[in-house]
Structure 1
Amino acid sequence: MTTMTTRPGLAARLTALTKVVELGPGRLDRKLLNEANALLQRAGERLKLSSEHTVVALAGGTGSGKSSLFNAISGLELSPTGVRRPTTARTHACVWGLEGAAPLLDWLQIQWRHRFSRASALDKGDSQLHGLILLDLPDHDSIRALTDTEADRLIGLADLVVWVLDPQKYADASTHRRYVTELAGHDAVTVFALNQADRLTTEELAELVIDLNDLLRREGVEHPSVVPTSSVTGRGIESLKSVIATAVARRRAAIQKLEADLHRLEQRLAEAMPLGEAMTAPSSVDEARRLGLTDALCDAVGVPAVGEAMENVYAERSSQWVGWPYPRWIEKFRSDPLKTLRLEDVGDEIRGITTGSVTAQSAEVANAVHALADGLSMGMHPVWRTAVLQAARSHAGQLPQALTEDLTEVAPQLDRVPGWWRLLKVWQYFLVAAFLAGAAWLAVGLIIPDQLPEGWEVLGDSATLPWVGLMMASVLGLGALSGIASRNFVELGASRERERLEREMRRRVAAVSATMVVEPVERELARHQAFYTALRDLSG
């Protein structure tokens, strides 16, 4: 037995169809996928079997003379003929050259008692038909479901189908609706035998042949091959045998049948998934969209608000450490309008924003993810648009919580006090002490200069008092300047801390979105790209 040799294009297209079937579940109609799977299985099995044999099936309705034509071609009375319905209950096979045909007949499921060898039954065979396996199928319009199903199955498996039509029912709706309309592109592996030509005059036969050709062309058979035959007179039998012999000699019918089946399936796939819709579809998430998603998720989490709150709290807390004490003490004696309105302290409110957990807003997160999927799937087939959206939302339930937990880890610890704040506070209180000491000196020197004990007369010396006053003014000025300078440093530090915090939070948001949104979407985009690449390869 010799396995079938395919032309390079068929093997590549079958490989492409395998990829389509692999990527198609959930994207293609299940019936179409099943047909593609069946074709792949049929092609794989047929190509492994004998390439020296060509399977030709005679198909037709009851009363078309199919079995009589089968006997006429084989030259033997192998298939029963008659008028009861159905005449042929089981498929009969006549083989020209039995060697190597057994596995193929087993695949066709032809029973042993219905297999006949032309060479053994008749000493002088038709050499041009060597390698032919001729099948007489059950009537396709049988009232018995079993034989009807067997006819359908073998019509699909045969390398070449000869449709036997009778003059009265050649336009029979059941034949054309169930079979002929499915034969578009199968011209090379389909023959139409207008049988029982002996019942017609020459003019009537010519008219019917023209009418049948026109009918077949309207139904998509571009180049129909119509052969008038008669098993009674023998008219057209040799012509039909010649057509069959040509197909057998070329050893191409099996390949042509698979190519035609593949072409028909390719057209149906193209209708379901037009190639043009994939031309502008991206294969990955570009950097601009990644940044856009990160920005949207940062807004959903409230990263700018957290940064601003952190900066405000940083500044508000620093006033307790680095501000000039005198203004702060004076503020305590002023009335607070917020307290009269019974509102919470603003500092406590601001502090509470950042000391609590960061919370992602689920609705805003969902909107950001949806916007990314919409932008990427623009122009895609609705099935793929839905698939991209589902991929983007595959972790929708966990994404807000993941963002919340990850960003809470980097929330600022606002109870931390920088060392330079402590040093500055010591310095400022030293200046406060110096000012108070100078004030005490002035008080003593001005009020009780004559009552000072021995050794303390310098405190009452009027010549030193101006210098003490100057020292006090300098201390006040130095304290005020150090307070202003410290506030500037605090604001600069708060701004830097805010930038560091927002940068770290943004990095974490980008990492979470890449894992839970971008990666699933890119897997779906890659699947989309591979699917349409396979469709293009399938079309050749």
Structure 2
Amino acid sequence: AAGVGEAAGVRPASRSRLTDELAAAANVPVVVDAVARSYRIESTRRTGWPATRWLVRFRPDPLRRLNLRSSSPSQLNRTSLPAAGAPERARTDAAVREFADAASAGAPGPWRAVIRGAAREGREALPDALDQAIAGTDLMASRKSWWWGVFNVVQWLALLTVLGGLGWLGVLAGLAYLQMPVPEVPKVEGWPIPTVMIAGGVVLGIFLALTGKFIGAGAARARAARARKRLRAAVGEVARDFVVEPVDVEVSRLASFNAALKAAGGK
């Protein structure tokens, strides 16, 4: 009878907390931030003012620096995230210990030790498994947004309009310099059309660039949220394989042991 006692088992809340803690220890927030920044950089490169967008090329891609830019993630890939140090390992150990304590609550002393031991069996392999899970997660880094193409076309049209206006004024200035007849310049509401073309193209380009930044910021947050969800799911699978299932096995063994004791006592 002394050995009879039911363990609390794996609860959704404790499993969710384990996943959250492992995700934090595995630098998932760093990856999510890199996803957002990478999208904003790519968005500016594709929708910014064509005359200046080339400057964005000098800004390093955060995802590429982490070796997470591949369009075909593989479970064999590794990230370039900082290796797990003492703080990360301590956080991982604490999360596993807290999960095991919650799952073994109510079990007899020897069984509590067995359940806790099962939770710790894979702790040495956890950091590498988590890194590999992150590397194998599709972060949609190479996926293009449809609105980039629209903004890009209009931006080039705006730039060509500016260049057309400048070219027109250049021809007129050249004719005047050569003392040749200068044709009358058409006007719109009293403004010379070349001037309107230059001003309109510049204003449109600036407006599109600012609008693109605003839309890009919102889209970056949405993509980061999707990446966070996928990464959390990947971390959850690692937690299941290395911690949850071994604990579940021992909890089930305790339940079977208790059932056998009760059956024997009833005879």
What's the TM-score once normalised by structure 1's chain length?
A: 0.41
Deviation digits for residues 354-381 of structure 1 (CA, Å, limit 9, x no counterpart): 4461657371333322221012223433
Amino acid at match of 2:185: D
Amino acid at match of 2:125: Q
Q: Is residue 39–residue 220 contact of structure 2 (8 Å, CA) maintained in 1?
A: yes
Deviation digits for residues 474-518 of structure 1 (CA, Å, limit 9, x no counterpart): 211211111122222322322222122111121222223223321
Match of 2:22 among 276, 297, 309: 297
Match of 1:493 in 2: 219
- TM-superposed deviation, 1:306: 0.6
Match of 2:36 in 1: 311
Deviation larger for 361-370 or 503-512:
361-370
Report runs of 4+ in structure 1 exceeding 6 Å deviation: none
The separation in 2 between residues aligned to 1:392 and 1:358, in whole angstroms, is 28
The separation in 2 between residues aligned to 1:407 and 1:444, in whole angstroms, is 58
Match of 2:169 among 422, 442, 449: 442
Matches within 5 A, 1:17-166: none
Q: Is residue 293–residue 369 contact of structure 1 (8 Å, CA) maintained in 2?
A: yes
CA RMSD, Structure 1 to Structure 2 (Å) = 3.2
Amino acid at match of 1:376: A
Match of 1:472 among 192, 198, 205: 198
Deviation digits for residues 212-251 of structure 1 (CA, Å, limit 9, x no counterpart): xxxxxxxxxxxxxxxxxxxxxxxxxxxxxxxxxxxxxxxx
Task: Indicate the SS of the match to 2:60.
Answer: helix
More helix by share: 2
Match of 1:357 in 2: 79
Q: Is residue 311–residue 495 contact of structure 1 (8 Å, CA) maintained in 2?
A: yes
Match of 2:136 in 1: 409
Match of 1:398 among 120, 125, 136: 125
Alpha-carbon distance change, 315 to 452 in structure 1, aligned in 2, over 3 angstroms: farther
Extract unaligned runs of 5+ from structure 2.
70-77
- TM-superposed deviation, 1:388: 0.3
| Correspondence 1:288 to 2:13 | yes
More strand by share: 1
Alpha-carbon distance change, 450 to 299 in structure 1, aligned in 2, over 3 angstroms: closer
Q: Is residue 21–residue 92 contact of structure 2 (8 Å, CA) maintained in 1?
A: yes
Match of 2:60 in 1: 347
Amino acid at match of 2:79: S
Q: Is residue 358–residue 407 contact of structure 1 (8 Å, CA) maintained in 2?
A: no
Deviation digits for residues 246-303 of structure 1 (CA, Å, limit 9, x no counterpart): xxxxxxxxxxxxxxxxxxxxxxx63xx3x4xx25x32x31111121111112112222
What's the TM-score once normalised by structure 2's chain length?
A: 0.77
Task: Indicate the SS of the match to 2:17.
Answer: helix
Amino acid at match of 2:47: V
Match of 1:461 in 2: 185
Which structure has the larger Rg? 1
Amino acid at match of 2:130: L
Match of 1:167 in 2: none
Alpha-carbon distance change, 519 to 482 in structure 1, aligned in 2, over 3 angstroms: same
Identity among equivalent positions (%) equals 28
Deviation digits for residues 363-418 of structure 1 (CA, Å, limit 9, x no counterpart): 13333222210122234333111100122123334333332223212253646655
Match of 1:321 in 2: 46
Count of residues in correspondence between the two structures: 249
The separation in 2 between residues aligned to 1:499 and 1:348, in whole angstroms, is 19
